[in-house]
Amino acid sequence: MAHPVTTQTAQRPTPVQGLTATGVTVRFAGLTALQDVSLSVGRGEILGLIGPNGAGKTTLTNVLTGFQRHGGAVAVDGQDVTGWSPQRLAGAGVRRTFQNVRLFTGMTVAQNLEAAALGVGLSRTAARTDTAALLERFDLSGHADDDAAALPYGLERRLGVARALVGEPRYVVLDEPAAGLNETESDELLSRLRAVPEQFGCGLVVIEHDMRLIMRLCDRLHVIDHGRTLASGSPADVRANPAVIEAYLGAAAAQHPDAVPGAGVPEVTRHG
Ligand SMILES: Nc1ncnc2c1ncn2[C@@H]1O[C@H](COP(=O)(O)OP(=O)(O)OP(=O)(O)O)[C@@H](O)[C@H]1O
């Protein structure tokens, strides 16, 4: 007897898109650096991660990019990547920059990009093509053959960001990309970063103390203090949040982001 034909319309849950951290906790000996922090960033989105010195921002960056063991979970577009090494995560499209740019010394600007592209698994031909495109997009073509170690500071930071974008990453975490830049350089970085999600199709997490930059750049902000989430939402909502004003921004800065004490300078201390 012929069996009736049944069509299996499997009701698979739609994978959660984005780079997500769920219930992340990190303890260093007696110190709780992160306590039950959850956040997510989608492709095409820019998320700002802000908070006072020692709040846990770099520790969270390390968690998201595989440099820090932790409790809780990290996922990339629905795939659990908890415990993956930085190299494996980079291969899966999760990249980062460091507070202090770590360029490959003894190499030119172009060689820095090419080496990074080879490092994430591109073929030599693809690495060359990618390098040429990045040099162009970041206005570095005129410096392609310069010794990277001899670049002026602003260009060094620009190269650091470009290098994190080799090989079409899915998500990039930028740790204080504007640190030490003057106002003009910071504004120039802002317009470059603003274009990145559309140009590269990736999501950005930006850790930054420069509130002039962060308030203009980000679609959403996530604020942490003492290792816990203090607030999250649009820049306007976060700027008006009394707890954020109290812990971090200060009243004057909340009303006039250009007046943030130390804007453009990495050292912003707790208020109150
Ligand atoms: N490897 C470590 N061992 C012990 N304590 C650490 C370690 N790394 C960070 N910490 C502590 O964890 C807390 C969070 O530090 P973290 O560097 O993540 O803060 P942050 O928000 O990035 O600060 P900043 O804005 O100054 O860079 C701080 O109290 C810091 O001293």
Residue 76: CATH number of its domain? 3.40.50.300
pTM for the complete prediction? 0.86
pLDDT of residue 250: 76
What pLDDT is recorded for position 261?
42
Question: Could you report the predicted ipTM of this complex, rounded to two decimals?
Answer: 0.97
Q: Is residue 7 part of a domain?
A: no
162 CA distance to ligand 1 middle (Å): 26
In the prediction, which pLDDT does 103 show?
Answer: 81
- Kindly state whether residue 269 falls inside one of the protein's structural domains: no
Per-residue pLDDT, 253: 65
Query: CA–CA separation, 211 vs 245, rounded Å?
Result: 13
In this prediction, residue 251 carries a pLDDT of 55
Pocket probe for ligand 1: among 27, 31, 223, the residue whose CB has the most ligand atoms within 8 Å is: 31
Say if 3 falls within a structural domain.
no
- How many CB atoms neighbour CB 251 within 10 A? 11
Q: How many domains does the chain have?
A: 1
Domain containing 64: what range?
A: 19-259
Between the alpha carbon of residue 270 and those of residues 209, 213, 247, 262, the distances in Å are 12, 19, 6, 12
Positive/negative CA dihedral, 159, 160, 165, 171: negative
In a domain, residue 268? The reply is no
Q: Is residue 2 part of a domain?
A: no
For tokens 């939402």, the residue is 233
Atom of ligand 1 minimally distant from the CA of 29: 4
Give the confidence band of 1 by pLDDT, cuts at 50, 70, 90: very low
More confident residue, 241 or 10: 241
For the cut 60, the answer to whether the pLDDT of residue 168 exceeds it is yes
Answer whether residue 271 is part of any domain: no
Classify residue 38: in a domain, yes or no: yes
Q: How far is the CA of 65 from the centre of ligand 1 (A)?
A: 16
User: For residue range 95-110, what is the model confidence (pLDDT) as tens digits?
Assistant: 999 887 778 888 999 9
Q: State in Å: Cα 59 to ligand 1 middle.
A: 6
Q: What's the mean per-residue pLDDT of the chain?
A: 87
pLDDT at 2 over 90: no
The residue whose two tokens read 């980000």 is 218
211, part of any domain: yes
Q: What does the pLDDT average to over 8-14? A: 57
Residue 77 has pLDDT above 90, yes or no: yes
What is the CB < 6 Å shell around ligand 1? 28, 31, 33, 51, 53-59
How far does residue 193's CA lie from ligand 1's centre (Å)?
26
In the reported structure, the alpha carbon of residue 33 is separated from the centroid of ligand 1 by a whole-number distance in angstroms of 7
